[in-house]
Chain A
């Protein structure tokens, strides 16, 4: 690993550091308003893998830590979410729950904010849940530049003025990887490891 850094700047971010490196590309205030003022709502973060859905979900949960975050995987069950007494839940990878479990979840919880690859509007229709979908797609060079440089600063031992990414560097990465933010980060991780 390069000597200027305490740790690889492109490794997985600790939950506590997410606000330091994220540049939200959604209207956070509007989402917070909806969460706090809706009676029955599903907020969907949709897009291909590596586009920042989970990062934004975790960032929102950081702002609202009183509501739990569930990072689902193949072995997860709906009970671990349903057992939570919170009316508002953050659920990552909701596709790991079956269709009937998602129906159960939407029926019981007041607000569900979740990430997914595919639209879940049918479940919302069947449970009469208001549906608000945000697509994660595309990334601007300036946005990427900011995110990468914030990661460099977080990991640096001293002020990293001479090793920051330029907008041109960001454009080169976007040309190579498109809007696959995870692909960019993994590529840089290997370079810096």
Chain B
């Protein structure tokens, strides 16, 4: 037990029903004090490799006009409702999202002298010049009952840039550049470096567009099933990816905008089993949802979780990948 005159603690037990939470505020005082009112605020916090964010969600009153007797302990129960639409708590590699319940105990002005002010965190009340004691606790918001659902609307499958192809292009352009340098015998200047980079970029772009046309299109439709979802894949007639396989993955992404330049951190938090697609014609592949129910698609400030369908296969002996983002939510 602390040496403070007034000790307080707060616990959140969990959900009574959807979005309704219950908790208790514990108070013990070494002096008899009159408490004018006890107010609480629920915050949604995101902390990680990004600027810290703390957003006020809801505020409510826990108690009003209470006298705490010297050396007696009190447990004050309370409930609060979190509005619909707020994301679940999440703890990942680059970000943690959690909820914080902060209670302020406003002791009556006449009893302030009884408190040992050097010990407490003092916070001025917004409305008056009273001083308040602050106590807080973090709690998690998870809805384990609801299952995921996949939205039928999603982006088209797009061919991803291939590092091997880029490397190959750079090699070809470098060789051509070297041949030009040796045969024309010009002096190297900074401008030639810029021309080289521009050439690599242009050739890469043209090569990518040609490859995209050669591989062809493939359409994707998603349907919810009992335990997961179904991907119905229909390649165009000219589709030429061979040994095609499909899977989905869930990715955590954080954009670090702290400071004068930004960095992006991603982490694959789930990868489904890989399933083969038919070599010709349409395929229907069923996937199960992950057991973890806190990975719904979400975007909060600089952090996001997104689901991605990935189709990989071979084209001219090189592995190619097509991707699209799908929306996973809970009712």
Chain A positions near chain B (C-beta within 8 angstroms): 1, 6-8, 11-17, 49-50, 53-54, 71, 73, 92-93, 95, 115-117, 182, 186, 189-190, 193
Contact across chains for A8 and B54 when beta carbons are under 8 A apart: no
Given contacts A8-B96, A11-B49, A189-B48, contact A1 B91 (CB under 8 A): yes
Most central of A7, A15, A73, A95 by chain B CB within 10 Å: A7
A12 x B262 contact (CB < 8 A): no
**CB closest residue in chain B, given A193:** B93
State in angstroms the CA–CA spacing of A71 and B258 once bound together. 9
Q: Give every chain B residue within 8 A of A190 (Cβ-Cβ).
A: 93
Collect the chain B residues with CB atoms within 8 Å of residue A1's CB.
Answer: 91, 96
Number of interface residues of B (CB under 8 A): 20
Is the Cβ of B260 less than 8 Å from the Cβ of A11? no
- Give B contacts to A, CB under 8 Å: 45, 47-54, 91, 93, 96, 98, 138, 257-262
Quick one: which of A6, A54, A193 contacts B258, CB cutoff 8 A?
A: A54
Which residues of chain B have C-beta atoms less than 8 A from A92's C-beta?
259-260
Q: Are B257 and A17 in contact (CB under 8 A)?
A: no
Q: Is B260 in contact with A17, judged by CB distance below 8 angstroms?
A: no
Tell me which residues across on chain A come within 8 A of B261, comparing CB atoms: 49, 93, 117
How far, in Å, is A173 (CB) from chain B's closest CB?
17
Given A54-B258, A92-B260, verify A14-B54 contact (CB < 8 Å): yes
Partner of A50, one of B51, B52, B257, B259: B259
A95 to B52, CA, bound (A): 23
- Give the distance in Å from the alpha carbon of A49 to the alpha carbon of B96 in the complex: 24
Q: Is the CB of A189 within 8 A of B259?
A: no
A8 touches B52 (CB 8 A): no
Q: Are A73 and B257 in contact (CB under 8 A)?
A: yes
Q: Which of B49, B53, B138, B260 contacts A93 (CB 8 A)?
A: B260
* Interchain CA distance A5-B261 in the complex, whole Å: 29
Q: Are A12 and B50 in contact, with the CB atoms below 8 A?
A: yes
B48 close to A12 (CB less than 8 A): yes
Closest to B259 in A: A54
A107 to B114, CA, bound (A): 56
Contact indicator B96/A95 (Cβ below 8 Å): no
B236 to chain A, nearest CB (A): 35
